Amino acid sequence: MAESASEIEWRISDALVPYDEAVAAMEARVAGIRAGAARELVWLLEHPPLYTAGTSARPGDLIAPDLLPVFRTGRGGQYTYHGPGQRVGYVMLDLQRRGGDLRAYVRDLEEWLIRTLQRFNVKGERRDGRIGIWVAESGGRESKIAAIGVRIRHWVSFHGVSLNVDPDLAHYRGIVPCGISEHGVTSLAALGITATMPEVDAALEAAFAEVFGAEAALARQRARD
Residues taking part in catalysis? 178
Task: Spell out where the chain has E strands.
Answer: 8-13, 40-45, 50-53, 70-72, 79-82, 86-92, 125-127, 130-136, 142-153, 156-164, 184-185, 219-223
Distance CA 178, CA 79 (A): 5
**Nearby residues of 202 by Cβ (< 8 Å), 6 or more positions away:** none
The conformation of residue 189, written as its DSSP 8-state character, comes to T
For residues 90 and 46, the answer to whether their CB atoms sit within 8 Å is no
**Nearby residues of 79 by Cβ (< 8 Å), 6 or more positions away:** 51, 52, 53, 54, 57, 61, 62, 175, 176, 177, 178, 179
Residues 213, 132, 221: CA angle, nearest 5 degrees: 45
Cα–Cα distances in angstroms (integers) from residue 107 to residues 104, 132, 208, 211, in the given order: 5, 10, 13, 10
Q: Give 200's Cβ-side CA count (13 Å radius).
A: 27
Alpha helices, H only, the chain: 19-35, 102-118, 197-212
